[in-house]
Structure 1
Amino acid sequence: MADLTWADGLFLASLTLVVCIVALLVLGMAGPRSAGGQRPDLTGSCSNHFLFRDERLIDHDASGFSLPDPDDTAQTDWARFRAWLTFRFPDLPVRLADLDPDRATSLHSQSGDIATRLDLCPSRRTVHVTLTDTAQPEPAIIHERLRLCQSLQDQSAALFHAPCPVWIRDKAGETLWQNEAGEAMNPDHRAEMLRAAGQPPAPGDTVTERISLVGDNGRTETSYDLRVTGTDRGLVLCATDVTRIVRAETARRDFVQTLSRTFASLTVGLTVFDRDRTLALFNPAMIDLTGLAPEFLSSRPGLISFFDALRDRQVMPEPRNYGNWRSQINDMVRTARGGLYQEVWSLTTGQIYRVTGRPHPDGDVAFVFEDISVEISTMRRHRAQIDLRQSVLDRLTQGIAVLSGEGRLMFCNTAFGILLGIDPDSHLAGMGLHDVIAACHARYPDAGLWPGIEHGIAQGPLGAPIARTLDLPGDARLDLQVISLGRGHTMLTLAQHQAGHLHLASLKTG
């Protein structure tokens, strides 16, 4: 110890003083709390400093700090810095030039969780900004905030990569944040979208507006549903691409218009009843066919009321039993829903309607009314003419048969069946060329005649008629003729003559 110099003694004294001061500090931090239950704040406040010159950030002491990405290339550093702070300090000036150059401005955080102050001190061309937290939170609070921060980062990442463009704007109309889809949007379209937001809704309210963006070709290129939600600090805008929906709606509308024009031009009446049996659709021809008033049809009457009106105007047959009238209508609807209903109504006016019921999706049923009066009249007249011609042919003693180009027997008269000795009703139906020739050969055998006749008819149109005479027992004769009728049809005639008739005929012609 005697060897210690005065310098060594001074060092030991200084070391002892430092140890004592540290001990006092430790004891003070571990000592009793204040009367308010809080431990005295020995840590002090925490501040960061930012220096701006002409709206450009030239220096700061915040470790790990970087300005938010700019919305466009013309955005200043101060605008980006303001966007970073505005959610806690909404009263920040839009430009630094708006500050009073003769005095400092202090703003206090409005978030309510941490007591934070922002001081702005202008000095010539520079502005010194100080961000100060006046109190340090406890470790548990710091941990909870870090946990919430991590959760918000996850949500922010999901929102940033969402396919729908999203923007967050303040009350002044400045864009504070936008996601990846918002950044990728055509700048002109993005500006038009944000301009279309219209009157900002109140906080908590949401309005939706459909926006159609026009491309360079002057046609609608993309359609969006813009959803705008008001907040305490501004607006949240979310745009959903509904181009395919709009195109589908346009195509459906055009299809309905085309369908409506088609319905309007139909000559048949059409009515469609929904699942509640209410008239949902009718076309103008329905008015012409039934005489029902347009006002009545437009009032969407029920199915029973509709058919009651038809009955009152005698546009449907009178029911045999009025007591079962509703049951008959219900049965008709059930049959129509099964796709089975079709009736022909003969009206007292002489008109004839064909009514067809067809099922439709979702329980709907459609009834089609067709005026077939002319069709029925033509068919009846044609049938009468056919019956008359058949009657005339049946009166002839000469047997006549007509074969189609495919060799199928189309019709024959009664004499032809008698000459062949068969019943026309049971044997001639469905006979072909070979069957007819076989019947002729069986009735009038001639091995050299009938195969040649069959071959000539089967070869197609004949160049000239074929005429043959076949001698029969008892001095009788069979005159045979094969004549082409055109379109591949062939007529076969058989005429049997007795000897006495032949002699008389020769005397008359001699």
Structure 2
Amino acid sequence: MVNLTVSNSVILGGLVVVFSFAVLWLIGMSRTGQNNKRGVQEHAVHSNSFLFRNEDLIDHDADTMPLPSAETEDESDWQRMRKWLGFRFSDLPERLGDLTADLEIESNTDGLKSRLEFSLGNKAVHLTLSEPVTPDSATLHETLRQQALLQGRSDAIDAAPMPIWATDKDGNVIWENQASEALSDDHKEQILLALGDAPEPGLSASKRVSLENPVGPSDLWYDLKAIGSDTGALHYAADITRIIRAETIQREFVQTLAKTFANLTTGLAVFDRNKNLALFNPALIDLTGLSPEYLSARPSLISFFDTLRDRQVMPEPKNYASWRSQINDMVKTAAGGLYQEVWSLPSGQTYRVTGRPHPDGAVAFLFEDISVEILATRRHRMQMDLRQTVLDQLDEGVAVLSAENRLMFCNKTLGTLLGIDPDGSFADMGLSDLLAACHRRYPDVGLWAEVEEKITRKSLSSPIIDTVGRPGGDGATCRVMPLGGGLTMVCLTQIVAEISGMTTADLT
């Protein structure tokens, strides 16, 4: 038990009085502060202090220190801190030892009045990070809402299938998503090297790069894009390996087609869905006379046919005003697989032009020189006409039956004798029809029955020669003989009934 003297009691009583007045003053100040809370908080800030010596962090008052891990063994604490602060504060000194005076830097990425203060001390640098205090609950709620939105966007970017990363002004990676983290260190180094320096703020740079594939035979391809900002750059790497492979396969396929069609005599012109020439072969050059330089320039379909018209490699249109609409109609018809036309050129050549549809709106035109074929057809027709004319001049009626026992042709004399006109009939005349006409004109049941039986059974091995007709009437000499290839020839020669007192029997 402590014994208090009078003097001690006086002193203690005085202290109690002073303490009581102090408490009352603080309570009053607290109540006054309630009324001015908003104004006070507008100027309040939170701050953390960090003490560095020789680039090493030796003390701080932060609850947590989420500094990035050191990438190399010789990376200092300040370099890690610099990366941590870099996305909000630019122009940070590379080394604290380079500071010659106190420095203050404000945040350049948000509307908050955040700042960094560097204070030089005795062989040490005192760094203060100051953040404004939220003035009221509504502002706090809005801040949390914005943070939630940013977190959602961050999660979306982090889960994106394409590599995305951010770098500071020195090119150091300060953030990357999962796809970027999945890249090998070697591929990351090649990509960063290919991109080079970050573009200026507001500008962008693009580049395509191929990387060696460690698990496959073909390279990996990426389309790279960097967008500059005040704090560094944002980078994107789109994997286009499949697109490149598809383009390579398509290009090789086109080359294969070109080699395949190179030796064809048929000219080929393939127009893509944009109606530009995509493929042609040497035969097209030979048939049209168009230069390889012109065709290699990939002319449009309209330009291609206009040039053909100018070079008289296609018939001159009767109405030039409707020429383009005719070309469009031709393309539409070809797209339906229906276009085919024969062009008779002023040079005497004849081309058959065929339009064929291709997938994805493309269309191909085939140019065939059928001049020899047309000439041969014309010669054959002339020969047939000549033969028919010669046969029509004979006094003997001649008919030829096919291997299927159908009438192939007969001369004019036979038509006159039998009263038939095969060319004027819609239906083909067969063996039975021909022999029925013969029997009506020259009745002979036995002979015509024998002829029909032998021809039908293909047993006519030798000619049948006989005289047919009504007794006392006109008669005819009939000859039926086999020809090669299963053909049969029937000949009738009219016999005059009486000439100078001779009878038909005398003539035979």
Partner of 1:329: 320
Partner of 1:133: 130
Q: Give, in angstroms, the shift of residue 168 of structure 1.
A: 0.4
What letter corresponds to residue 419 of structure 2 in structure 1? Answer: G
Partner of 2:157: 159
User: How far apart, CA to CA, are the structure 1 residues paired with 2:118 and 2:324?
Assistant: 80
Secondary structure in 1 aligned to 2:233?
strand
Partner of 1:47: 48
Q: Give, in angstroms, the shift of residue 239 of structure 1.
A: 1.4
Q: How does 1:254-265 map to 2 (within 5 A)?
A: none
What letter corresponds to residue 330 of structure 1 in structure 2? Answer: A
Q: Deviations over 1:38-70 (max 9, x none)?
A: 649998854366999998x999875566455x6
User: How far apart, CA to CA, are the structure 1 residues paired with 2:70 and 2:419?
Assistant: 105
Q: Give, in angstroms, the shift of residue 197 of structure 1.
A: 0.8
Matching residue within 177, 180, 184 for 1:179: 177
Alpha-carbon spacing, 1:22–1:114, altered in 2? closer, same or farther (3 Å): farther
User: How far apart, CA to CA, are the structure 1 residues paired with 2:365 and 2:387?
Assistant: 39
Q: How does 1:166-315 map to 2 (within 5 A)?
A: 166-216=164-214, 220-251=218-249, 253=251, 310=311
User: How far apart, CA to CA, are the structure 2 residues paired with 1:429 and 1:27?
Assistant: 127
Q: Give, in angstroms, the shift of residue 227 of structure 1.
A: 0.6
What letter corresponds to residue 329 of structure 2 in structure 1? Answer: G
Alpha-carbon spacing, 1:215–1:129, altered in 2? closer, same or farther (3 Å): farther
Alpha-carbon spacing, 1:168–1:456, altered in 2? closer, same or farther (3 Å): farther
Task: Say if 2:386 is the partner of 1:388.
Answer: yes
Is the 1:457–1:490 contact (alpha carbons within 8 Å) kept by the matching residues of 2? no
302-311 or 375-384: bigger deviation? 302-311
Partner of 1:25: 26
Q: Deviations over 1:65-103 (max 9, x none)?
A: 6455x6989897956654332224556677xxx6659x9
What letter corresponds to residue 472 of structure 1 in structure 2? Answer: G
Q: Give, in angstroms, the shift of residue 109 of structure 1.
A: 4.3
What letter corresponds to residue 211 of structure 1 in structure 2? Answer: V
Alpha-carbon spacing, 1:297–1:201, altered in 2? closer, same or farther (3 Å): closer
TM-score, normalised relative to structure 2:
0.67
Partner of 2:3: none
User: How far apart, CA to CA, are the structure 1 residues paired with 2:17 and 2:441?
Assistant: 153
User: How far apart, CA to CA, are the structure 2 residues paired with 1:231 and 1:382?
Assistant: 82
Q: Give, in angstroms, the shift of residue 174 of structure 1.
A: 1.7
Q: How many residues align?
A: 469
Q: How does 1:409-448 map to 2 (within 5 A)?
A: 409-427=407-425, 430-444=428-442
User: How far apart, CA to CA, are the structure 2 residues paired with 1:442 and 1:145?
Assistant: 115
Q: Give, in angstroms, the shift of residue 373 of structure 1.
A: 4.5
User: How far apart, CA to CA, are the structure 1 residues paired with 2:158 and 2:388?
Assistant: 88
Partner of 1:338: 329
Partner of 2:6: none
Is the 1:271–1:283 contact (alpha carbons within 8 Å) kept by the matching residues of 2? yes
User: How far apart, CA to CA, are the structure 1 residues paired with 2:351 and 2:231?
Assistant: 70
User: How far apart, CA to CA, are the structure 2 residues paired with 1:370 and 1:337?
Assistant: 21
Q: Deviations over 1:416-464 (max 9, x none)?
A: 43443312332486223443344445445555655665455445x5583
Task: Say if 2:476 is the partner of 1:485.
Answer: no
Alpha-carbon spacing, 1:152–1:469, altered in 2? closer, same or farther (3 Å): same
User: Which blocks of at least 5 consecutive residues in structure 1 are unaligned?
Assistant: 1-9, 320-325
Alpha-carbon spacing, 1:484–1:342, altered in 2? closer, same or farther (3 Å): closer
Secondary structure in 1 aligned to 2:114?
coil
Alpha-carbon spacing, 1:202–1:168, altered in 2? closer, same or farther (3 Å): same
Matching residue within 471, 475, 478 for 1:474: 471
Q: Give, in angstroms, the shift of residue 209 of structure 1.
A: 0.7
Alpha-carbon spacing, 1:309–1:74, altered in 2? closer, same or farther (3 Å): same
TM-score, normalised relative to structure 1:
0.67
Matching residue within 473, 492, 495 for 1:495: 492
Is the 2:87–2:174 contact (alpha carbons within 8 Å) kept by the matching residues of 1? no
Of all paired residues, the percent bearing the same amino acid is: 37
Is the 2:200–2:229 contact (alpha carbons within 8 Å) kept by the matching residues of 1? yes
